[in-house]
C-alpha cells in the first residue's frame, strides 16, 4: 500500500523504494557521511550483505537522483508504521509518549 499510495516507484525501472530504504539504513548504520562513501562501501561489501536482499546496489549518481526525485514522505510513513508495530521493543522512554 505504501509504495502505491505515494507512487514512489512510478517511472522507476530498477532502483525501487525497497532498495532505496536499505541504502538509507546502510548509510545510517555504517555512519557514512557522503553518497560516494555509501555507494563505495555498499559495492565493496555486496558479497557480505546478500542477506539484506537488496536487488540493486546503487552507484552514487543513482542515489543522488533517487534522493532528489523520490518523496521523503514514503520513508516517513514506513518509519511511523515500524514504530507503531515494534515500538514496544525500544527502551527509550521518550518514544512511549509517541506510540500511545
From first to last of the 100 residues of the chain, give the pLDDT tens digit.
566 777 888 877 888 888 898 888 888 888 988 989 988 888 888 777 677 777 778 888 888 988 888 888 999 898 888 888 887 777 765 655 655 5
Report which secondary-structure segment, H or E, holds 79. helix 73-86
Cβ(49)–Cβ(38) under 8 Å?
A: no
Cβ(78)–Cβ(16) under 8 Å?
A: no
The pTM is what?
A: 0.77
Q: What residues contact 84, with CB distance under 8 A and at least 6 apart?
A: 99
Amino acid at each position: 500500500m505504501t509504495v502505491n499510495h505515494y507512487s514512489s516507484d512510478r517511472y522507476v525501472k530498477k532502483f525501487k523504494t525497497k532498495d532505496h530504504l536499505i541504502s538509507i539504513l546502510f548509510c545510517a548504520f555504517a555512519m557514512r557521511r557522503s553518497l560516494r562513501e555509501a555507494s563505495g562501501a555498499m559495492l565493496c561489501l555486496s558479497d557480505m550483505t546478500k542477506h539484506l536482499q537488496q536487488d540493486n546496489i546503487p552507484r552514487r549518481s543513482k542515489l543522488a537522483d533517487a534522493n532528489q526525485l523520490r518523496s521523503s514522505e514514503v520513508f516517513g510513513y514506513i518509519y511511523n508504521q515500524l514504530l507503531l508495530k515494534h515500538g514496544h521493543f525500544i527502551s527509550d522512554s521518550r518514544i512511549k509518549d509517541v506510540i500511545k
